[in-house]
Chains A and B, each alone.
Chain A
Amino acid sequence: MMHYVLKRLLLGIPLLFGVNMMTFLLFFCVNSATDVTYKILGDKHVHPVTVYHFKNERQYHLPRFWHSKNSVLWVGPIEGSLKTLFSSRKHHTLSWEDFAAADPSVFMQGILTQNMIVVFNARHITPELVEQFLKEVLPWGIPVIEYLSSHATGMYSTVVQHAENETQLHAHIMTLTPKGIEKLTQTLFFKKSFQLLFFEFGISDRTQLDIGQEIRNRAMPSLMITLPAFLIGLLLEVSMALFLAYHRGRLPDRIGLLVTMAMISVMSLFYVFAAHWVFSVLLKWFPVSGFNTGFAGIKFILLPVFVAVADGLAGGIRFYRTLFLEEFEKDYVKTAYAKGLSSPSVVFKHILPNVMLPIVTNTVVVIPRLFMGSLILEYFFAIPGLGGFTLEGILAEDFAVVGSMTFLGAFLYVVGLILTDVCYAYVDPRVRVAK
């Protein structure tokens, strides 16, 4: 058994990896991080420096999958042999004239879209221009190397690195370049997606909340709705299904068919709106929305629980009814009746335990997912649970949140599947015998 569970667990890893990869591709290959940053920071007075720092803080400046080199912005005259030094890496040159022409947009765009090291060739240049240059560059906080300075700009000695010759320059650039395993770890994918596998959720892009903490805080409100809804729903579904199956083909069954079919045909959003309208707005039995902890919170969860039960009820009844029907037709049931057993004892002692098997498979998968809450219900009733959290993350294009929640959802699904298999083996003696 242990062996089996272990095998299933290991199989879950590539699955989760794949899920992560898909969300990552959707988020970082469709839109650039700069665009998303602008959206989060808003429109007014957003200086490119602010955007750059914002990205840097959240490490969105890193390359996607492979961080081999930083690109170099070379400002000033580039001299013969230096060209070979840069031939192996992406580099841009900007002449002093361009820079002094006070059109910083080229420079800013470059910094925003690439990991850049700025090297400035300080030879033949007046101290005033150097000052002007540094005033423009320093607020960015990007690495700046001063090459061949003819006059010491001592004031910036700790920020700007100096290179007296080519070897030194090369060495400086190399210290700023990732080495070995860093090429893999200093990437967006590793920092933002891979680390999820170790439950390192990080911080929300938009609200700056600790996502791990947030998940812990929000799981309880979610469970307060999903757990009662699940239990009540299961109880109602199974008992109603049993009732209908028992009266199969007769009036109650036909009425049941009519009602359940009608209920299935209605979309779940309608249940939310209708129940909200009838019970909150018209009858004023329940608060319109909100949440509270402890005893004072009960009035807030009654309606969402009711809606959640009503939404899943009809489908559940139909499904369990088929299971029961199949069982009712079996030979052992006829034998039991023929032997003169009473109806209740046939139903509860013989049929129910046998139907438990598919019921277990169907329900155990769902149990871990209860933590995830329900998207629309929580959002609509302003329940501070994980479902609402996910939906807000999606609406805000907050990768950190959506990535974490997708991963968590996938993880809980895998856990659910494993649990099902274990339970299956536990409930069904045949599985154990076969082993």
Chain B
Amino acid sequence: MMKLHEWIIFSCLFLTQGLVHALTLNSPYTQDEINQKYYFSDFREAPKHLDPARAYSSDEYRILGAVTESLFGYDYFSDVYTLVPLAARDMPAMMQKNKDGFIELVIHLRDDLVFSPHPCFLDENEIDSQLSLNKNVDSPFQLQKGQRQVTAYDFAYQIKRMADPRLHCPIFPMVLSSYIKGMTEFQSELNRVIEKGRQTSESGQNELSAGGHSQGNGFMKPLLNYHEFECEGIQVPDKLTLKLILNPEGSKMLYWMALPFFSPVPHEALKFYSRPAVFSRGWRLDRYPVSNGPFYVHTFSANRLIQLNRTEGYRKRIFKYDNGEEAVLPFLDQIRFYREAEPISRWLKFKQGYYDVSGISNDHFFEVFQPGKGHSLSDFFVTRDITSRRMVLPTLMYMGFNMLDPVVGGRSEEKTALRQAICIAIDREGYLEQFLNGRGEVAHSPIPPGIFGYGLSRELFNASVFDWDETISAPRRKSIDEARQLLVKAGYPGGVDPRTGEGLILFFDTLSTAGNVAYKDWLQKQLKKLNIYLEFRETDYNRFREKMSTGTAQLFSWGWNADYPDPENFLFLFYGPNGRVRFKGENPTNYENKEFDVLYKHIEGQPNNEERLGKIHQMVRLLQQDCPIDFGYYPEAVTLAHSWVRHYSVHPFSNEVYTYLDVDINERKEYQQRENQVSMGPVFMLVFMMAGFTLLWKTARGRGKLP
């Protein structure tokens, strides 16, 4: 017989069962959020900088790409990496070279660009009253806002701003100072003014005790108005025209101008953020940038949420559907990035429908793709209409030889033979299958797909390591016997070092991370084929860096992401004067070949034509002969997207994903409700178990066995 209170418990359970079905208890969002055109994504670590003059990493660009609109961009829907105008009206006409080699670049701006609404555009008194009225708001965007048009002066202002030594613009030393005429002198002038200002403001204090730059807390004194300083290479003939004079080596400038560095920053914003009343609230340009993109940063809470809102008054951009219908860009009203520390949480939420797009980590690969069936998605994802996007990235991952090393380095015939033998032995095809589930392409040259100079044909394949197999008309790795013969040529017959009479031992310098034991095992096995023993010298990241820059490493793994889609950006990794040890450059193998260096000078800054292509292939061939690296592979990015996400694609250079992304909120809501039905079964089980236990207890007690 059920007693009254037991009835109550049961009916409560049934009631809640009905209730939770409608609610999806585990939704991390409120009902309000779900019913809006919001895009949900995550971040692992808050971006350090959102100031377009300082940001330079992919997590920063993810946000900044939506917030800024640089002069140029890449066609988001095209696989060919071509530049298109964004804030500029058109691609600048042919760069006219002056007699002395300087390049003149005239850029016409669109006339419909506006800054996102921001309180800095109000007049001084209004800002004061706004600040005193709203003491407890979290973001400057909660104040009353003004807005104004973007002019060429704002672009010029930003370019000049990047020369401010206190900002440490990451591309200044390598790019700006050498590309734009008069930029170095311009920086010296700023330096002098800053120094003067510092001396007057901190009179009496010596410079060292002031800690050099007082910018540590983000407060720059003195505040400079960069309009007041002239730079020879930056001119503004009229409101909508920007004229740059570039040094002869500045021909790659247009690519750099597709990065958020070249987006406008209003001088009003700097003035606003330097107000003590603003500064004390923790509002910085580095958190809440003011720019001309389709979105602006509305909330920046580094430990929970970064929220971007659609810019009111953003220039009218029309998106044409295939069926001829038109829509206004951007589609989304808000983009919400939630902080997610654990990758597993992100993955689960994606499957539950709470994140719209997700990458795939190795742990989940076989959950997503059916083993042995190529790359078809598993049933779980197929039935849920989740689709994958694949894309070989313009990235090179490789194993390098330190060319300064006495054992594996140097360009003599023996040393080259040794490297060649090792390259043959390292079976990259196997590596890709075993470790990356085929997500990558074996590289035959340092130039990845999509970039000028890439090609895999009978003429271009890496003949040091592969043979051309006519039957499949594809390259096939040379046999291990050939590698053994090369080893004889190298002076290590049978892998034995004649000086010691024992097997050759090579050292692989790597990081001591616990995760890659399998990889180390694999690598050791590859060299074992040649009877070479591979020993791992594991250190932390700092020591590893040190070894690389002092040239004491022997073998190492390294990678390179393209900055811009030009072969130069990969070939310069082998340019002698870029040597890591001697010049602290980006050539980690310290490869040096006069012939290569001469050719590099020839292709540098040249337009893509047959002549350049020929020289590039010549350079690639030199590298293939010398084997300073094993070329490794180009990784492939695989991402998953839910069916309600529209226009999503992986573009390695375009920063405009969020301009084009669209979501169908009803479809998403349905999915979330379907996938997140609360399971109450175990509660019933628990109740039954407890009931049983009490019954048992009571009977046992009745028999007098228990008190």
Whether A50 contacts B168 by the Cβ 8 Å rule is: yes
Interface flag for B582 (CB, 8 Å): yes
List the B side residues contacting A286 at CB < 8 Å: 25-26
1/0 per residue, CB under 8 A from A, across B301-321: the answer is: 111100000000000000000
1/0 per residue, CB under 8 A from B, across A208-233: the answer is: 11100110011000000000000000
Considering the chains assembled together, what is the distance between the CA atoms of A314 and B304 in angstroms? Answer: 33
Interface flag for B482 (CB, 8 Å): no
Whether A380 contacts B184 by the Cβ 8 Å rule is: no
Instruction: Give the secondary structure class of B's interface.
Output: loop
Interface flag for A66 (CB, 8 Å): no
Whether B208 contacts A70 by the Cβ 8 Å rule is: yes
Q: Which of A35, A49, A299, A384 contacts B304 (CB 8 A)?
A: A384
List the B side residues contacting A38 at CB < 8 Å: 542, 545
Interface flag for B427 (CB, 8 Å): no
Q: Which of B28, B208, B540, B541 contacts A115 (CB 8 A)?
A: B208
Interface flag for B101 (CB, 8 Å): no
1/0 per residue, CB under 8 A from A, across B380-407: the answer is: 0000000000000000000000000000
Known contacts A287-B27, A384-B339, A35 near B545 by CB under 8 Å:
yes
Considering the chains assembled together, what is the distance between the CA atoms of A291 and B207 in angstroms? Answer: 45
| CB nearest neighbor in B for A182 | B209
Q: Which of A45, A70, A210, A288 contacts B28 (CB 8 A)?
A: A288
Whether B208 contacts A47 by the Cβ 8 Å rule is: no
Considering the chains assembled together, what is the distance between the CA atoms of A158 and B677 in angstroms? Answer: 71
Whether A56 contacts B583 by the Cβ 8 Å rule is: no
Interface size class of B (residues with CB under 8 A): 35 or more
Whether B340 contacts A285 by the Cβ 8 Å rule is: no
Whether B213 contacts A53 by the Cβ 8 Å rule is: yes
Instruction: Write the nearest CB–CB distance from B173 to chain A, whole angstroms.
Output: 4
Whether B57 contacts A42 by the Cβ 8 Å rule is: yes
Whether A288 contacts B26 by the Cβ 8 Å rule is: yes
List the A side residues contacting B165 at CB < 8 Å: 53, 139, 141
Known contacts A31-B542, A39-B542, A53 near B168 by CB under 8 Å:
yes
Interface flag for B414 (CB, 8 Å): no
Interface flag for B144 (CB, 8 Å): no
Whether B706 contacts A251 by the Cβ 8 Å rule is: yes
Whether A176 contacts B341 by the Cβ 8 Å rule is: no
Binds A, one of B90-98, B191-199, B269-277: B191-199
Considering the chains assembled together, what is the distance between the CA atoms of A407 and B282 in angstroms? Answer: 24
Interface flag for B699 (CB, 8 Å): no
Considering the chains assembled together, what is the distance between the CA atoms of A103 and B383 in angstroms? Answer: 62
Whether A175 contacts B206 by the Cβ 8 Å rule is: yes
Interface flag for B48 (CB, 8 Å): yes
Known contacts A45-B171, A45-B586, A50-B168, A289 near B28 by CB under 8 Å:
yes
Considering the chains assembled together, what is the distance between the CA atoms of A251 and B697 in angstroms? Answer: 11
Interface flag for B170 (CB, 8 Å): yes
Whether A45 contacts B342 by the Cβ 8 Å rule is: no
Whether A382 contacts B26 by the Cβ 8 Å rule is: no
24 intermolecular pairs with C-beta atoms under 8 Å apart = A35-B542, A44-B586, A45-B170, A45-B171, A45-B174, A47-B173, A53-B165, A70-B208, A105-B582, A105-B583, A139-B165, A139-B187, A158-B192, A186-B209, A206-B48, A214-B303, A218-B303, A282-B679, A288-B352, A289-B28, A300-B28, A381-B345, A384-B339, A392-B45
The 10 closest A-B pairs by CB, nearest first: A35-B542, A384-B303, A289-B345, A290-B28, A56-B212, A47-B173, A287-B28, A57-B216, A288-B348, A284-B26
Q: Knowing that A32-B542, A50-B170, A380-B342 are A-B contacts, what are 5 other residue pairs whose CB atoms are under 8 Å apart, sorted by A's residue number? A: A59-B216, A105-B582, A135-B184, A143-B208, A284-B352
Footprint of A on B, CB under 8 Å? Answer: 24-28, 30, 45-46, 48, 56-57, 165, 168, 170-171, 173-174, 184, 187-188, 191-192, 195-196, 199, 206-209, 211-213, 215-218, 282, 286, 301-304, 338-342, 345, 348-349, 352, 354, 540-543, 545-546, 561, 563, 582-584, 586, 676-679, 682, 706-707
Footprint of B on A, CB under 8 Å? Answer: 31-32, 35-36, 38-39, 42, 44-50, 53-54, 56-59, 61, 70, 103, 105, 108, 115, 135, 138-139, 141, 143, 155-156, 158-159, 175-176, 178, 182, 186, 203, 206-210, 213-214, 217-218, 247, 250-251, 280-292, 296, 299-300, 379-382, 384, 388-389, 392, 396
